[in-house]
Chains A and B, each alone.
Chain A
């Protein structure tokens, strides 16, 4: 199984800050890496697929990069609606696995 490790597990940031979340795979996931945003009590929402492809309708302040084992989600200027938990997911091999999540909180 491919283990996905996200860091940090939580962070505090202010509106306007640049935020970077990393996701490391225990073995290569090529570019089969997706990022989701989840708010309390809600279902996850897809932000980025294939490591760097922004889903249509997702604000351009979100971006993704990486390949192989190391991936990054960046929010260029944090907005109030971005306070949430973010998960990476590899779909390179079964079982599909998620990272443990990164909770982005208001400083």
Chain B
């Protein structure tokens, strides 16, 4: 069974930093692209970042570019999100998600999600 378990969330002051982790199990972690998605309280889903299976390729939403770094340790089956210069608008539940590709359709989707970890940025 695929499991994704996020940790590292908490309360931080504006300008502070946090590192989120996502521990993966139940699948060959090193074979899959991974993503972070966030959801502000009472709001919709917003894609944050993705990383290739080997970690060589990363992409970011404009809203976090330059402040956030996605990385992974395939030996530890863990995905990370280093968040710096945090702002009030970064307050959200952060989900990690596993990307799955359909070779029939040539498209991809998020077939597994973690339970989320809450980041609160407030003075």
Please indicate whether A and B come from the same complex rather than being unrelated chains: yes
In this complex, the interface size class of chain A, counting residues with CB under 8 Å from chain B, is: 20 to 34
Contacts between chains A and B (CB distance < 8 A), count: 63
Contact A45 B113 (CB under 8 A): yes
Per the 8 Å Cβ criterion, residues 64-107 of A in contact with B are: 87, 89, 91, 94-101
Tell me the nearest residue of chain B to A45, going by C-beta. Answer: B113
Q: Is A46 in contact with chain B by the CB < 8 A criterion?
A: yes
Q: Which of B47, B95, B102 has the most CB of A within 10 A?
A: B47
Does more than half of chain B's interface fall in helix, strand or loop, or is it mixed? strand
Q: Is the CB of B113 within 8 A of A43?
A: yes
Known: A32-B107, A43-B113. A100 touches B44 (CB 8 A): yes
Please determine whether A43 and B116 come into contact, CB atoms closer than 8 angstroms: yes
Q: Nearest B residue to A1 by beta-carbon distance?
A: B62
Interface membership of A18, Cβ < 8 A: no
Question: Bound state CA distance, A29 and B89, in angstroms?
Answer: 28
Q: Are A98 and B107 in contact (CB under 8 A)?
A: no
B110 touches A46 (CB 8 A): yes
- A32 vs B108: C-alpha distance when bound (angstroms): 7
Report how far A102 CA is from B69 CA in the complex, Å. Answer: 31
Residues of chain B at the chain A interface (Cβ within 8 Å): 35, 44-47, 50, 59, 61-62, 95, 102, 104-105, 107-111, 113-116
Using a CB–CB distance below 8 Å, which chain A residues touch chain B? 31-32, 34, 36, 38, 42-46, 49-50, 53, 55, 87, 89, 91, 94-101
**11 further interface pairs, Cβ-Cβ under 8 Å (given A34-B109, A43-B114, A55-B111):** A32-B107, A42-B115, A45-B113, A46-B110, A49-B107, A50-B102, A87-B44, A87-B45, A96-B47, A98-B45, A98-B46
11 contacts between A and B (CB under 8 A): A34-B109, A44-B113, A45-B113, A49-B105, A50-B105, A87-B44, A91-B109, A95-B47, A97-B47, A98-B44, A101-B45
